[in-house]
Amino acid sequence: MAPDKTALRKTARELRKSLHEQMPEASEQIAANFPEKLLSRFGPVVAGYIAIGSEIDPAPLLNRLSDMGADIALPRVESETEMTFRFSGAHAPLEQGPFGLTQPDIDAPKAHPTLVITPLLGFDAAGNRLGYGKGHYDRALERIRKQGRAFVCGIAYSGQQLPFIPAEPTDIPLDWVVTEKGSIPLFLSRARG
């Protein structure tokens, strides 16, 4: 029987909070561990996010990628079911959005990211991502992939790797995860499985 995703999310959220408190330096380690080849192969438009709560802060990574020539975009929740990515330069205005998000304002130009850095509650070796249950990333990634490529890279504490995450047909798997311990190419494990 598959684990209950609601219970799994609660456990994963508590685990991530604990890891966040134990490893304040993880964001810098993840930025250092991020393989440059991912940007050269899948950039230059990179979608990141602004951390909420115990999410790993991607700012050091996004700064590094920007210094390497990436154009950075951030998610914007447009409605209860739609999320887009919009360009966010160094001085672009941001506003408070739903779910505690800080997001680009409505006038920021829409982006078509080809490399998406995503937050998560957990991941497994098959590339399944445990998100917050609203489906915003999955729907956004599905739309992007209908228009072209999009490589999906989660950033996480290594302790967020779970033995198994049940996947729905609408779930978009991760291609890669970068943790404070290194990087994990998940598309290879899916190809072998």
The domains of the chain are located at 5-192
The pLDDT assigned to 53 comes to: 95
The predicted model gives 83-93 an average pLDDT of 88
In the chain, how long is the greatest CA-to-CA distance? 49
41-51 pLDDT tens trace: 999 999 999 99
90-134 pLDDT tens trace: 778 899 999 889 999 999 999 999 999 999 999 999 999 999 989
The Cα 108–Cα 42 span in angstroms is 23
The pLDDT assigned to 188 comes to: 58
Strand order in the sheet with 83-87: 83-87, 71-77, 45-47, 115-118, 151-155, 176-179, 182-185
Whether 39 shows a pLDDT value over 60: the answer reads: yes
Contact 114, 43 (CB under 8 A): yes
Whether 8 shows a pLDDT value over 90: the answer reads: yes
Reported CATH class of domain 5-192: alpha beta
With both helix axes pointing from N to C terminus, report the angle between 59-67 and 26-33 in degrees, rounded to the nearest 10: 30
pTM for the full model?
0.93
The predicted model gives 25-53 an average pLDDT of 97
